[in-house]
Chain A
Amino acid sequence: DVKVTQSSRYLVKRTGEKVFLECVQDMDHENMFWYRQDPGLGLRLIYFSYDVKMKEKGDIPEGYSVSREKKERFSLILESASTNQTSMYLCASSLDVSKNIQYFGAGTRLSVL
């Protein structure tokens, strides 16, 4: 079974803090994704990566950055957390374009106070 692991289920941070959300997959997948999930808005893509050290902006990249130093790990960084970044964050991975099923982690619920 594919396993996508997000380091924290719940996280509480203060406004202005630098926040790291970590995601690790164990199936040698090429592609990795970060989404945020908000009620009534569905899932919105923040960033994705199709290879080590490669990244592409999604639909809502403002206020976020990412890092992919190793194939199995994709980190989402909030440089200076703000209250409007309180949300559920989902990480996903997929093998390649031909095997286009995305596998999701359990999610990190982030609260910024």
Chain B
Amino acid sequence: AQTVTQSQPEMSVQEAETVTLSCTYDTSENNYYLFWYKQPPSRQMILVIRQEAYKQQNATENRFSVNFQKAAKSFSLKISDSQLGDTAMYFCAFMKTNTGNQFYFGTGTSLTVIP
């Protein structure tokens, strides 16, 4: 079975600062996808960023970037210039390429951006 570990249940960051959320995973697969999803309070879960394991280049999406270390099975999310709207629960997720889209989620990190 695949496991995804988020070791930081809660984090906080000052507005405009940078914060990094950690995620590690365990798999014997070579090809897979990794995701970060964001769930704002009482709102829908949305995709933040996606990384394909066969790509060495780290994915970026505006203020969001990842540090993907395949050998270490680590996939951290960096949020730059944090904004109040970044306050949310963040979930790391893993998907094998041959499982019909089944995701494995971590337990989440609750991020609070402090004004």
A-side interface residues toward B, CB under 8 Å?
31, 33, 35, 40-45, 48, 50, 56, 58, 90, 92, 94, 96-97, 100-107
Q: Which residues of B contact A90 (CB under 8 A)?
A: 45
Given contacts A41-B107, A90-B45, A103-B47, 17 further A-B contacts (CB under 8 A): A31-B101, A33-B103, A35-B105, A40-B107, A42-B4, A42-B106, A43-B91, A45-B102, A48-B100, A48-B101, A50-B100, A58-B102, A97-B98, A97-B100, A102-B103, A104-B45, A105-B44
Q: Which of B35, B44, B47 contacts A106 (CB 8 A)?
A: B44
**Chain A residue at minimal CB-CB distance from B43:** A106
CB distance from A12 to the nearest CB of B (A): 18
CA distance in complex: A56, B106 (Å): 21
B33 interface residue per 8 A CB criterion: yes
**Contact indicator A42/B44 (Cβ below 8 Å):** no
Q: How far is the CB of A14 from chain B (nearest CB, A)?
A: 25
Instruction: Give Cα A2 to B92, complex, Å.
Output: 21
Question: Which chain A positions have C-beta within 8 A of B107?
Answer: 40-42
Known contacts A90-B45, A101-B50; is-contact A42 B101 (Cβ 8 Å): no
| Total chain B interface residues with beta-carbon distance under 8 A | 24
B95 sits at the interface (CB 8 A): yes
Binary contact track B39-69/A, C-beta < 8 Å → 1, others 0: 0000111110010000000000000000000
- By a CB distance below 8 angstroms, the chain B residues around A50 are 100-101
A36 to B106 alpha-carbon distance, docked (Å): 13
User: Which residues of the other chain, B, contact A101 by a CB distance below 8 angstroms?
Assistant: 35, 47, 50
Give A47 Cβ to nearest chain B Cβ, in Å: 11
Closest to A51 in B: B100
Query: Would you give the shortest CB distance from B109 to chain A, in whole angstroms?
Result: 10
Residues of the A chain whose Cβ atoms lie less than 8 Å from the Cβ of B9: 40
- Could you jot down 10 A-B contacts, CB within 8 Å? A33-B103, A42-B6, A42-B106, A90-B45, A92-B45, A100-B101, A102-B47, A102-B103, A103-B47, A104-B46
Known: A104-B46, A106-B44. A97 touches B97 (CB 8 A): yes
Chain A residues in 8 Å Cβ range of B98:
97
